[in-house]
Amino acid sequence: MGGYVKTFMLMAALTALFMGLGAMLGGASGAAIALAIAAAMNVFAYWNSDKAVLSMTGAKAVDEASAPALVRMVNRLADGAGMPRPKVYVIDTDQPNAFATGRNPENAAVAATTGLLRRLSEDEVAAVMAHELAHIRNRDTLIMTVTATFAGAISMLANFALFFGGSRDRLGGMIGTIALMILAPLAAALVQMAISRSREYEADRVGAEICGNPSWLAAALRKIEAFAKGIDNNAAERNPAIAHMFIINPLHAHAHDKLFSTHPNTANRIAALEAMQPVARSSVPRAGARVAPKSGPWA
């Protein structure tokens, strides 16, 4: 519950920042216009964000014919968690990683990279998929879409302040305008990152419960981070705004927490998982099945 309270407070801060920026640019009418812009952007993001993210990463849909073990694994995990089965995608990149997207559990997708399927054990892949299912069940995919949209809108309004002015007296002249243009997006990015980081801990906890063994997810995180430091994820490098969606930062982040990191310290996440007790689950596939798709460029 503490994680949800923190997320609510951070989103309230982001909303207040957005409205405050609109008010500084145009008073009460500016705040109203800012709210209308945010609403329109969020409606568009609500319906189209999953398609955009999947397209940017080059994810390809798979089914039981092309990736039987992976799809059946995700289906069993979803069934065991009592949630709708998401669509399953594979991204052709050697960096082990994964993400979830979708506006709600009924319209969701999970994506795994070919590197994840090749380099991790079956149990570790199951734990990663469980983590992504946790994001879907917790509706983090929608939360992160909304926060990313707000952050983008704040940056847009800050640029309006520079190019279209607003009230110079209210903003304290050109220096105040430039400071606003820099500081407002910076503050929005910090809030967005704080929300992302808080949701990762909760998804780790719920994901460990879904797969039944926290040590599987701890081992997966350790491996993914080690590989991600030396293997490029070209799609993420081209679109860094989607980095926060992956289970581990795909952009070669440092191992320690940084002010601008979209993910918590992996060592801290592993420690939290190792403090959990295993939970019996019958929905997780056992050793012997091949997880990687049997055909395609990732085979």
pLDDT 10s digits, 41-69: 767 767 877 888 898 899 999 999 999 99
Predicted local distance difference test score (pLDDT) of residue 287 = 36
Range 71-85 average pLDDT: 97
Find the radius of gyration of the CA atoms of the chain.
Answer: 20
pLDDT 10s digits, 161-195: 656 554 545 445 555 556 666 666 666 666 666 66
Q: Whole-angstrom Cα distance, residue 60 to residue 245?
A: 17
Predicted local distance difference test score (pLDDT) of residue 158 = 66
pLDDT 10s digits, 253-279: 444 445 456 688 899 999 999 999 776
Strand partners, 88: 62, 110
pLDDT band at 290 (very low <50, low <70, confident <90, very high): very low
Residue boundaries of the structural domains of the chain: 2-274
Residue 200 annotated in ligand binding: yes
The better pLDDT of the pair 268, 141 is held by 268
Catalytic residue from among 132, 209, 237, 274: 132
Q: Whole-angstrom Cα distance, residue 228 to residue 234?
A: 12
Of 160, 165, 142, 150, the closest CA to residue 17 belongs to 150
Let me know if 132 is a catalytic residue.
yes
pLDDT 10s digits, 111-130: 999 999 999 999 999 999 99
Q: What is the overall mean pLDDT for the chain?
A: 78
Burial 255-281 (b: 16+ CB within 10 A, else e): eeeeeebbbbbbeebbebbeebeeeeb
pLDDT at 132 over 60: yes
pLDDT band at 152 (very low <50, low <70, confident <90, very high): low
Q: Whole-angstrom Cα distance, residue 180 to residue 208?
A: 42
pLDDT band at 82 (very low <50, low <70, confident <90, very high): very high
Predicted local distance difference test score (pLDDT) of residue 85 = 97
Residue 131 annotated in ligand binding: yes
Q: Whole-angstrom Cα distance, residue 190 to residue 60?
A: 32
The better pLDDT of the pair 94, 152 is held by 94
Phi, psi of 246 (to 5 degrees): -75, 155
β-sheet with 107-113: strand ranges across: 60-62, 87-91, 107-113, 98-104
pLDDT 10s digits, 6-24: 556 666 666 677 677 677 6
pLDDT 10s digits, 199-251: 899 999 999 999 999 999 999 999 999 999 889 888 888 877 778 889 998 98
pLDDT at 137 over 90: yes
